[in-house]
């Protein structure tokens, strides 16, 4: 089948292995001093690894390949090997390099062979190219995607009272709607000249003080680089940077490897937009601690 899949430029690859931990599926491995895609069916084609290569040796292309097989990924990570391969270098902390003991001299596989025929995969969100938000209008359209500003309670008045005898709930710092990157128009009035926050959508669940420490005073765009089209993120964010000219951009992501795709998309979008906008990146741990 014709689908999107990773392509590695061997001439550019120096075998540093920085991209290996960013592949949560274990599809990348250092073999004979070069990073290889060890099985086509292991690569989901979403490109979470793209921003981790200092040499620019990785890109996503369209070619004939077996369908992404989540069962084969689970089996590979569970057993620690793929047919004909050495130990899997399991994803670790972002930026970690693979250990010398994890390097295999076995050739990479073109696929996973008959014993791992592609199985059904989980449904994925449509590409952003299909789900672009319409130009902002004062009325009509889906109420869930209609652009509007909100008076944030954190910056001004008190929070609404809770039930009798209960403490008042924590106030919200949200100052606009919508927040999903897929739904936001680059021409939304509340984006113009704003301090922009681009957040992975797991962050507010993991980090209890998200509103106070990240959202207050900023306009937020939320997305998931694992479930969405990361190249679509680049196009949408580049349009936001060109149209709205935000004053600053803060990216906050989770520590898991695939989440690096959202920071990569912001960096690529800034370069494509031609604008010089200050950028700050922060990372939150899965245990709710702020790592940077």
Mean pLDDT of 67-83: 73
Picking from 142, 175, 171, the residue whose alpha carbon sits closest to that of residue 159 is: 171
* Most confidently modeled range among 10-19, 238-247, 251-260: 238-247
Q: What percent of the chain has pLDDT over 90?
A: 43
Is the omega angle on the peptide bond into residue 178 within 30 degrees of 0, that is, cis?
A: yes
H or E element: which one contains 234? helix 230-244
Flag the least confident range among 86-90, 194-198, 243-247. 86-90
pLDDT at 212 over 60: yes
Closest by Cα among 48, 27, 49, 31 to 39: 27
Write down the domain spans for the chain.
2-116, 143-156+171-284
Which element (helix H / strand E) includes 280?
strand 279-284
| pLDDT greater at residue 196 or residue 55 | 196
pLDDT at 196 over 90: yes
Q: Do the two domains 2-116 and 143-156+171-284 of this chain adopt the same fold?
A: no
Q: Is 35 exposed, middle or buried, given 0-12, 13-18 or 19+ CB atoms closer than 10 A?
A: buried
Residue 82 is given by DSSP the state -
Q: Rounded distance, CA 101 to CA 154, Å?
A: 51
In the CATH scheme, what architecture does the domain 143-156+171-284 have? 3-Layer(aba) Sandwich (3.40)
Residue 104 has pLDDT above 80, yes or no: no
Q: What is the pLDDT of residue 163?
A: 63
pLDDT band, very low/low/confident/very high, at 128 (cuts 50, 70, 90): very low
* Domain 2-116 -> CATH class: alpha beta
- Picking from 281, 289, 287, the residue whose alpha carbon sits closest to that of residue 95 is 281
Give the DSSP H or E segment for 251: strand 248-254
Residues 6 or more apart in contact with residue 79 via CB below 8 angstroms:
none
- Over residues 107-131, the mean pLDDT reads 41
Most confident residue range from 2-6, 59-63, 202-206, 230-234: 202-206
**pTM, 2 dp:** 0.57
For residues 237 and 178, the answer to whether their CB atoms sit within 8 Å is no
């Amino acid at each position: 089948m014709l689908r999107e899949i990773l392509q590695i430029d061997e001439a550019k690859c120096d075998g540093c292995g920085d991209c290996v931990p960013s592949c949560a599926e274990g599809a990348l491995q250092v073999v004979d001093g070069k990073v290889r895609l060890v099985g086509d069916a292991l690569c989901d084609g979403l490109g979470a690894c793209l921003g981790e290569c200092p040499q620019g040796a990785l890109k996503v292309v369209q070619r004939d390949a077996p369908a992404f097989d989540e069962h084969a990924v689970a089996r590979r990570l569970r057993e620690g090997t793929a047919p004909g391969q050495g130990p899997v270098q399991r994803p670790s902390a972002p930026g970690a390099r693979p250990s010398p003991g994890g390097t295999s001299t076995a050739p990479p596989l073109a696929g996973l062979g008959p014993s791992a025929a592609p199985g059904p995969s989980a449904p994925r969100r449509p590409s952003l190219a299909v789900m672009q938000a319409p130009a902002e209008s004062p009325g009509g359209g889906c109420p869930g995607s209609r652009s509007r500003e909100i008076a944030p309670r954190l910056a001004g008045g008190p929070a609404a009272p809770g039930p009798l005898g209960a403490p008042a709930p924590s106030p919200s710092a949200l100052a606009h709607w919508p927040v999903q990157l897929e739904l936001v128009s680059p021409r939304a009035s509340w984006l113009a000249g704003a301090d922009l926050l681009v957040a992975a959508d797991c962050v507010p669940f993991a980090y209890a003080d998200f509103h106070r420490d990240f959202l207050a005073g900023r306009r937020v765009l939320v997305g998931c680089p694992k479930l969405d089209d990361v190249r679509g993120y680049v196009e949408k964010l580049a349009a936001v940077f060109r149209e709205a000219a935000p004053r600053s951009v803060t990216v906050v992501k989770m520590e898991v490897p695939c989440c690096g795709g959202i920071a990569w998309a912001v960096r690529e979008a800034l370069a494509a937009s031609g604008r010089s906008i200050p950028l700050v990146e922060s990372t939150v741990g899965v245990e709710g601690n702020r790592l940077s």
